[in-house]
Structure 1
């Protein structure tokens, strides 16, 4: 396995931390826009609409617009369908749940990715990782407290579905990424998503005061910058170092929730979140260990 140059690790971590700040900011802006009267369809439309010219400009200034040509249009369409559904579930959870809780449910992505990797990609998954998966779901139960009415049940279901569908997207991206660059994938996702979103927005748009329009634009800018930084980080640093940075999202979600909405995580979230995070970190570490062993065996 080719080692990443030491001077690339710091930029990779910095980019991933930047993506965390951007995506946490996007979540806070989504909640503010929804409270201000914006519909979910409007929020989704602006999240994607800003991405098309932004990513196109970055591609034009870098590798050139010719690189957006693709031979995997059907795969991009599937990624757009699953990705847009996942984004809808995520934004629904953000609007219905406190920021820290909706963020915590997103930490189920490595758990679902392990299950899908074993079932769909037939990846070897030992008892260590299956135990981590079970432990992670125990953490989800602690946070969600099903049957207590602690949180909106649909918000909890939407958050868990968002985690599952994001894991599905990660499986799709592994296949697309064999021939497509990260920027090409982001461009096609934003462009294809605009087809159904434009239709829905045409029926559902409404007038807003200036500050709501600014929030909607901010959602698009923060979300797309976060997505670009998130994918770019993996080009500079290994997954085992980069991905754990995502768990710092909980710090920002807690801070924004307290400053903007006067909400702090409940006791069960403080208990369940470390359980979910611990299981996710263990899964990432076991994956790193497995790949290193496979590489060593291939060299021998």
Structure 2
């Protein structure tokens, strides 16, 4: 009987879910580590250099998979909307790293935690999707969390804070566009995102160019490899386990952001940031579970590629 239990479908499903959760946690850690590495690099080099060199390294890592699936790239649906999505992706990644030049990593990540809330609100306004009073209540609570974290003051309306908030909103629109392109293969979407950030970086890089040494080039390459590997882990995680199981674990990114911010940069998260992040996470998880109850799982937020 014990042998039968080891090979039962239920046991296999449980193992797959545990593997999916593990891969999601690993991907969030890698994304957070890559974000901290990017913040470290933009203290010396321009954001354009980071986007360009990081994107090139990611494409090198993905190149074997791209070659094997090259036929999928010849049949891209709705090219104009795809181009709009790539543009949004490149701009929000640039905004993320530009904001980290001036703000603690935890503050910037907190803004991005609100993406499921923004996506749900924009879905009601832009896509005319029905949003009931329960989710509207969660949206309002989530916005309250954003206000708590941003501490409304003169500092809140500073350019870096607005850049972080703008990046978060851009990422939310990106998620809405991705809904409309859900039949596009994951590899095609990921590759196009890295191509877009690489192209934007190539345009921005000449402004404020600082010639990197061999050690810095290794760090740039590491940032790209980490980002590409993390993206592959996210995709694999979502294939092994339902999104409703693994998606809430993405909120662990705030823990890593606070830890890396404290250890690497000496940033101590304020009480407002911690409380605001907790409120945002609670509202986001409620919205996600509500989406699952309604048979929609589209507000999953993958960390920025």
* Residues 28 and 152 of structure 1, relative CA distance in 2, 3 Å threshold: farther
CA distance in 1, matches of 2:191, 2:171: 18
CA RMSD of aligned residues (A): 2.2
Partner of 2:300: none
CA distance in 2, matches of 1:52, 1:74: 22
Partner of 1:57: 64
Larger deviation: 227-236 or 39-48?
A: 227-236
Alignment partner for residue 246 of structure 1, among 243, 247, 250?
Answer: 250
Q: Do the aligned residues in 1 keep the contact of 2:258 with 2:268 (CA within 8 Å)? A: yes
Larger deviation: 219-228 or 76-85?
A: 219-228
CA distance in 2, matches of 1:5, 1:155: 45
Partner of 2:71: 66
Alignment partner for residue 88 of structure 2, among 64, 82, 91?
Answer: 82
Larger deviation: 270-279 or 168-177?
A: 168-177
Partner of 1:167: 172
TM-superposed CA distance for 1:203, in Å, is 5.3
Q: Do the aligned residues in 2 keep the contact of 1:96 with 1:152 (CA within 8 Å)? A: no
CA distance in 1, matches of 2:199, 2:158: 30
Partner of 1:297: none
Give ranges in structure 1 of 5+ residues lacking alignment. 293-300
CA distance in 2, matches of 1:262, 1:204: 26
TM-superposed CA distance for 1:236, in Å, is 2.6
CA distance in 1, matches of 2:269, 2:157: 15
Matched pairs, number: 285
CA distance in 2, matches of 1:70, 1:47: 27
CA distance in 2, matches of 1:170, 1:83: 10
Mapping for residues 280-291 of structure 1, pairs under 5 Å? 280-291=284-295
TM-superposed CA distance for 1:192, in Å, is 4.0
TM-superposed CA distance for 1:152, in Å, is 7.8
1:114 aligns with 2:107: no
1:266 aligns with 2:270: yes
Mapping for residues 133-172 of structure 1, pairs under 5 Å? 133-149=139-155, 153-172=158-177
Q: Do the aligned residues in 1 keep the contact of 2:42 with 2:101 (CA within 8 Å)? A: yes
SS in 2 for 1:291: coil
Partner of 1:123: 129
TM-score (ref. length: structure 2): 0.86
Q: Do the aligned residues in 2 keep the contact of 1:56 with 1:65 (CA within 8 Å)? A: no
* Residues 168 and 252 of structure 1, relative CA distance in 2, 3 Å threshold: same
Alignment partner for residue 212 of structure 2, among 200, 208, 211?
Answer: 208
CA distance in 2, matches of 1:195, 1:156: 25
Give ranges in structure 2 of 5+ residues lacking alignment. 1-9, 297-305
Partner of 1:298: none
Alignment partner for residue 203 of structure 2, among 178, 199, 202?
Answer: 199
Q: Do the aligned residues in 2 keep the contact of 1:56 with 1:187 (CA within 8 Å)? A: no
CA distance in 2, matches of 1:172, 1:232: 22
1:16 aligns with 2:24: yes
CA distance in 1, matches of 2:113, 2:226: 20
Partner of 1:278: 282
Alignment partner for residue 223 of structure 2, among 205, 219, 230?
Answer: 219
TM-score (ref. length: structure 1): 0.87
